[in-house]
Amino acid sequence: MGVRRPLPATDLAHVLRHTEDLWEDLRGERLFITGGTGFIGGWMVESLLRADLDLAFGVRMVLLTRDPDRFRAVAPHVADHPAVTLARGTVRDFEPPSGAFAFVLHLATETKLDGAPLASFTTAVEGTQRVLDLAARSGTRRLLLTSSGAVYGPQPPDIERLGEDYPGALRPDDATAGYGHGKRAAEFLCVAAAASSGPEVAIARCFSFVGPLLPLDAKFAIGNFIRDAMAGGPIRVSGDGTPRRSYLYAADLAVWLWTILLRGASGRPYNVGSESSISILDLAGLIANTVRPSAKVTVALSTPAPGLPSRYVPSTDRASSELGLNVLVSLPDAVRRTADWHR
């Protein structure tokens, strides 16, 4: 278990530069954050600490973590920061800290429970309700929920980009879809609470991302490809390489989430991601060219599956038109920055 490097100073400056008109809303406030030790949470916490360093607005935060001692060993630059307090527990069983929290960021995910869909669903529902109970007792004004593009169910391959008004949904008899069903239920709980005199709720439906803190040994193809390229190859494509995905760089992700929290319409979901799709095979080639041009790309299935390739690509018209959010870091640059940080 090694010590995690801080996020790149240039990336944190990028977040601050594109959110500078937001931070006054947080002056002197206290935040409660679930999932603050993970990929998305790490970016939100470190960008907030960088903003406080530059602007001195006196923010304080409580981070929920299953194992405070382990997190302190991995990320002492965060855990030992005077603005940070660690609270032990999980989203289903934490003891609510006392005091007021003007803002709550519910960033915890259930992706590690993919092999246990019922546990994933119940964790999402019970955890969200517990966070809402905390918000009700703590005078919370706004709550950010990181939901997922999984709430839409499988994307029809003939729809280039999914918008927030897409009427499709997960099948209720799909017993494997606990994660997506849990996120749908979490959204409903938050919207219902907001409609019943609860806090305003900002909903971010997250798609796919790349950047420092992204694990290179998990289920994320882009992370695995970067790992393979850094090792000299080969970069292994496990299928036929035809599915299409899109990726937003994590520094842009932090810009989007802070903006959605502080400027998004309450109860109105916003897709978070990139509209620029790329096939998995082309992604592997891009990573090879960017990280290690000598690395070979291998494809497990040489014959593409019949029909149109699967897609997981959002429409971000709503975030762009209503909140002025755009992709600022290109995919090749995002891959290069990710590999440089992991090196």
Separation between Cα atoms, residue 270 and residue 322, nearest integer Å: 10
pLDDT for res 112: 62
Encode pLDDT of 66-78 as tens digits. 999 999 999 999 9
CATH value at residue 138 = 3.40.50.720
Specify if 223 maps to a domain.
Answer: no
DSSP E strands: which ranges in 150-285? Answer: 200-206, 209-210, 235-237, 244-245, 248-249, 269-272, 278-279
Write out pLDDT tens, residues 122-174: 999 999 999 999 999 999 999 999 999 999 999 999 999 999 999 988 999 99
Q: What is the pLDDT of residue 116?
A: 85
Residue 215 lies in a domain: no
Are 298 and 241 in contact by the 8 Å Cβ rule? The answer is: no
Q: Read out DSSP for 248-266?
A: EEHHHHHHHHHHHHHHSPT
Is residue 339 one of the residues assigned to a domain?
Answer: no
Q: Does residue 151 fall inside a structural domain?
A: yes
Preceding amide of 306 cis, omega within 30: no
At residue 20, the 3 state secondary structure works out as: coil
**C-alpha dist (Å) from residue 339 to 75, 135, 192:** 19, 38, 42
Domain count for the chain, please give it.
1
CA distances from 83 to 58, 108, 236, 314 (A): 8, 20, 43, 35
pLDDT at 1: 56
Residues of the chain by 3-state class (helix, strand, coil), percent to 5 = 40, 15, 40
The Cα–Cα gap between 65 and 54 comes to: 27
252 inside domain: yes
The full DSSP string for 125-140 is HHHHHHHHHHHHHTT-
224 part of a folded domain: no
Residue 325 lies in a domain: yes
Q: Which residues in the chain land under pLDDT 50?
A: none
236 occurs within a structural domain: no
For residues 65 and 36, give the distance between their C-alpha atoms in angstroms, rounded to a whole number. 8
Structure tokens at 308: 């149109």
Torsion on CA atoms 123, 224, 257, 278, rounded to nearest 10:
-120
Distance CA 92, CA 62 (A): 16
**Which residues form the domain of 134?**
9-210+248-276+313-330
